[in-house]
Amino acid sequence: MEIGSRRTRQRQAILEVVRRTTCHPSAQWVYEQVRQEIPHVSLGTVYRNLELMSRNGIILQVPAISGQARYDGDVSGHGHISCRACDRIDDLFIEAGYEALRSAAEDAGFRELTVLVELSGRCPDCAKNGS
Protein backbone atom coordinates (compact mmCIF):
# COMPACT_ATOMS: atom_id res chain seq x y z
CA MET A 1 0.00 0.00 0.00
CA GLU A 2 1.12 3.51 -0.71
CA ILE A 3 1.89 5.98 2.05
CA GLY A 4 0.05 8.71 0.20
CA SER A 5 0.04 10.60 -3.06
CA ARG A 6 3.60 11.80 -2.49
CA ARG A 7 6.42 10.01 -0.71
CA THR A 8 7.85 12.90 1.28
CA ARG A 9 10.81 12.81 3.63
CA GLN A 10 8.48 13.60 6.54
CA ARG A 11 6.08 10.76 5.66
CA GLN A 12 8.89 8.27 5.35
CA ALA A 13 10.42 9.35 8.68
CA ILE A 14 7.04 9.09 10.46
CA LEU A 15 6.44 5.62 9.06
CA GLU A 16 9.92 4.44 10.05
CA VAL A 17 9.47 5.71 13.62
CA VAL A 18 6.13 3.90 14.01
CA ARG A 19 7.41 0.66 12.46
CA ARG A 20 10.59 0.42 14.52
CA THR A 21 8.89 0.62 17.93
CA THR A 22 6.61 -1.79 19.76
CA CYS A 23 5.41 0.74 22.37
CA HIS A 24 2.28 1.77 20.43
CA PRO A 25 3.26 5.45 20.43
CA SER A 26 1.07 8.52 20.56
CA ALA A 27 1.32 11.20 17.87
CA GLN A 28 3.23 13.39 20.34
CA TRP A 29 5.83 10.65 20.90
CA VAL A 30 6.20 10.11 17.14
CA TYR A 31 6.58 13.87 16.68
CA GLU A 32 9.37 14.04 19.26
CA GLN A 33 11.22 11.17 17.58
CA VAL A 34 10.84 12.59 14.06
CA ARG A 35 12.01 16.04 15.24
CA GLN A 36 15.38 14.49 16.09
CA GLU A 37 15.84 13.79 12.37
CA ILE A 38 13.77 16.62 10.89
CA PRO A 39 13.77 19.54 13.39
CA HIS A 40 11.34 21.71 11.39
CA VAL A 41 8.55 19.10 11.14
CA SER A 42 5.27 20.29 12.67
CA LEU A 43 3.00 18.37 15.02
CA GLY A 44 0.16 18.94 12.53
CA THR A 45 2.18 17.23 9.80
CA VAL A 46 2.71 14.23 12.06
CA TYR A 47 -1.01 14.04 12.95
CA ARG A 48 -2.12 14.35 9.30
CA ASN A 49 0.30 11.69 8.11
CA LEU A 50 -0.53 9.25 10.89
CA GLU A 51 -4.22 9.65 10.02
CA LEU A 52 -3.51 9.16 6.30
CA MET A 53 -1.40 6.06 6.91
CA SER A 54 -3.92 4.51 9.29
CA ARG A 55 -6.79 5.24 6.89
CA ASN A 56 -4.81 3.56 4.08
CA GLY A 57 -4.00 0.48 6.20
CA ILE A 58 -0.25 1.13 6.32
CA ILE A 59 -0.30 1.39 10.12
CA LEU A 60 -2.97 0.71 12.73
CA GLN A 61 -4.64 3.28 14.93
CA VAL A 62 -5.13 1.67 18.35
CA PRO A 63 -7.65 3.08 20.81
CA ALA A 64 -6.20 3.67 24.27
CA ILE A 65 -7.89 3.88 27.66
CA SER A 66 -6.83 7.56 27.88
CA GLY A 67 -8.76 8.29 24.69
CA GLN A 68 -5.60 9.46 22.94
CA ALA A 69 -4.97 7.57 19.70
CA ARG A 70 -1.93 5.33 19.61
CA TYR A 71 -0.31 3.73 16.58
CA ASP A 72 1.08 0.34 15.58
CA GLY A 73 3.38 -0.30 12.64
CA ASP A 74 2.54 -4.03 12.68
CA VAL A 75 -0.56 -4.49 10.55
CA SER A 76 -0.58 -8.29 10.80
CA GLY A 77 -3.60 -9.96 12.36
CA HIS A 78 -3.27 -9.38 16.09
CA GLY A 79 -5.17 -7.77 18.92
CA HIS A 80 -4.23 -5.43 21.74
CA ILE A 81 -4.57 -5.34 25.50
CA SER A 82 -4.48 -2.05 27.39
CA CYS A 83 -3.71 -1.44 31.05
CA ARG A 84 -6.48 0.53 32.73
CA ALA A 85 -4.03 1.99 35.24
CA CYS A 86 -1.02 3.13 33.18
CA ASP A 87 -2.36 3.00 29.58
CA ARG A 88 0.33 0.51 28.48
CA ILE A 89 -0.66 -1.34 25.30
CA ASP A 90 0.68 -4.78 24.40
CA ASP A 91 0.13 -6.94 21.33
CA LEU A 92 -1.97 -10.11 21.55
CA PHE A 93 -1.29 -12.73 18.92
CA ILE A 94 -4.41 -14.89 18.73
CA GLU A 95 -4.34 -16.05 15.13
CA ALA A 96 -6.74 -18.98 15.58
CA GLY A 97 -9.30 -16.63 17.13
CA TYR A 98 -8.93 -14.16 14.27
CA GLU A 99 -9.55 -16.85 11.69
CA ALA A 100 -12.67 -18.07 13.51
CA LEU A 101 -14.08 -14.53 13.66
CA ARG A 102 -13.20 -13.85 10.02
CA SER A 103 -14.77 -17.13 8.90
CA ALA A 104 -17.99 -16.47 10.83
CA ALA A 105 -18.28 -12.99 9.30
CA GLU A 106 -17.64 -14.31 5.80
CA ASP A 107 -20.25 -17.03 6.35
CA ALA A 108 -22.69 -14.20 7.18
CA GLY A 109 -21.88 -12.60 3.82
CA PHE A 110 -19.52 -9.83 4.96
CA ARG A 111 -16.51 -8.91 2.83
CA GLU A 112 -13.47 -6.60 3.11
CA LEU A 113 -13.23 -7.44 6.79
CA THR A 114 -11.20 -5.79 9.49
CA VAL A 115 -11.03 -7.78 12.71
CA LEU A 116 -10.26 -5.74 15.83
CA VAL A 117 -9.79 -7.38 19.21
CA GLU A 118 -9.23 -4.98 22.10
CA LEU A 119 -9.00 -6.10 25.71
CA SER A 120 -8.25 -4.14 28.86
CA GLY A 121 -7.06 -5.09 32.30
CA ARG A 122 -4.11 -4.38 34.58
CA CYS A 123 -0.58 -4.95 33.36
CA PRO A 124 1.73 -7.10 35.51
CA ASP A 125 3.56 -4.02 36.88
CA CYS A 126 0.38 -2.21 37.95
CA ALA A 127 -1.14 -5.37 39.41
CA LYS A 128 2.03 -5.96 41.44
CA ASN A 129 2.17 -2.35 42.65
CA GLY A 130 -1.55 -2.17 43.45
CA SER A 131 -2.14 0.61 40.92
Query: What pTM did the predictor assign?
Result: 0.82
Which pLDDT score, from 0 to 100, does residue 67 have?
83
Quote the DSSP letter at residue 65: T
Domains present along the chain, CATH in parentheses = 1-75 (1.10.10.10), 76-131 (3.30.1490.190)
C-alpha dist (Å) from residue 38 to 4, 22, 47, 50: 19, 22, 15, 16
Distance CA 95, CA 16 (A): 25
Residue whose C-alpha is closest to residue 103's, from 94, 115, 93, 85 = 115
The sign of the torsion formed by the CA atoms of 95, 101, 84, 87 equals: positive
Which pLDDT score, from 0 to 100, does residue 98 have?
78
Which pLDDT score, from 0 to 100, does residue 1 have?
46
